[in-house]
Amino acid sequence: MKYISTRGGGEPKSFEEVVLTGLAPDGGLYVPQELPKFSQEEIASWAGLSYQDLALKIITPFVDGAIPHADLKKLIDKSYSTFRHGGIAPLIQTGHNEWIMELFHGPTLAFKDFALQFLGNLLDYILAKRNQKVVIMGATSGDTGSAAIEGCRRCENIDIFILHPHNRVSEVQRRQMTTVAADNVHNIAMHGNFDDCQNMVKASFSDQSFLPEGRQLAAVNSINWARIMAQIVYYFWASLSLGGPQRRVSFSVPTGNFGDIFAGYLAHKMGLPIEQLVIATNQNDILHRCISENDHSTRPLEQSLAPSMDIMISSNFERLLFDLYDRDGPAIAELMKEAKAGHMNLSDSALIEARKLFTSYRCDNDGMLEMIRSVLQESDYLMDPHTAIGLDAARHCRANTETPMVTLATAHPAKFPHAVREAGYPTDPELPTHLADLFEKEEHYAVLDNDQDAVQAFIAGNITE
């Protein structure tokens, strides 16, 4: 299988090349030339599989022989061996045909572990085979950073540098990154917001001349195709758990960068019967405005109680647009110029096509806090703020109560004690045992200005030999 850029430039790349490259040279994102398709009979035959074996079935066509089957199985098994729940992604019922899929049982308590445990192992495997070392540079609005660090901290061929917006992530999120004592792990708290951090990463990928000879940047943000690929699996897992593929299922996804819900779109395209995908946003609602009003204009970023969604530039939305515009790379390149300038409108045909599957909803801080309170009273179930936004969107946008609606629970409530307490919970939610000493550990991070030269000089000066 070959991979192409959403902006139409360059030659098709192999799976290994795409994993190591991240962003295409023309600024586009890599997608498969063709998606694998599964019949209803084939999907139904997977009903009794473990999560790991299901992942092997779905990921194998994308790898397409680049990794021997036995080695790929070992990588997948190793990646999910660190999860603290036997079901990996358990489903909890909160109402009539209403479910929450808990994606926070990995080592860093967030859905990012599903992709980044796998990506860390995958990168180390590929780099060892190539006798190569890389520098990972990533931006995080909270959860990607700790999951990436946890996935890469033991990798012998990787130096990892994670940028987070200074004082704009929760204390638990920050400490999960900054208390990791490893020579190859470096945290940068950058003055600004997540979009500033993400723009810094993209600019550095475009010009890597600041790196020592023989090193290149690799991506762990959701621009890396391998992350999207790994996230497709849990949509199939949920569907099979709820009577699919004979029964259609809907999903509500709290999202800022569009990667997690794009994985659901791909699952649908691959043959999974999905009735509805709900884009759940906080007050930074550019995705909701785009789908509901065709208004993709950037506005000042607001700091919210759901900080992982405080994003105005949703990188993975470009991957969906590529399909909506019939995979016309030059058209996407022009569209992205408009988006970068601050305002973009979709064509009528693209918007009509998007609305066949996607609906959207905006939930602000007040709505989120009320949802945490009400579900706690109704079901004695405590949610984090992002999951609460997803469930609020699910209840407002649900088209059919006879179709199971699954909200993706993207993080453990203990990661956001301030929001949970503000919703009326009497104490800070307890961290799981493996993180019980988090607040006792020493932190290590550098606070830097939003200055490309300063950030790149820091990275160049801290790469291990």
- Measured on CA atoms in the order 437, 441, 446, 449, is the torsion positive or negative? positive
Distance from C-alpha of 357 to C-alpha of 346, rounded to nearest angstrom = 16
394, 280 contact by CB (below 8 A): yes
Evaluated on CA atoms 387, 392, 393, 394, the torsion sign reads: positive
Determine if the peptide bond prior to 273 is cis (ω within 30°): no
Tokens representing residue 205 in the block: 């990928």
Quote the CA–CA distance of 258 and 198 in Å, as a whole number. 14
Relative to beta strand 217-218, strand 134-139 is parallel
CA distances from 313 to 78, 121, 259, 431 (A): 33, 28, 12, 31
> Which residues, other chains included, contact 287 with Cβ-Cβ below 8 Å and sequence gap of 6+?
255, 258, 279, 281, 314, 317, 360
User: Which long-range contacts link 10-13 to residues 24+ away (Cβ below 8 Å)?
Assistant: none
- Distances from the Cα of 443 to the Cα of 162, 185, 438, 456, angstroms: 14, 12, 10, 22
Catalytic residue annotation: 112
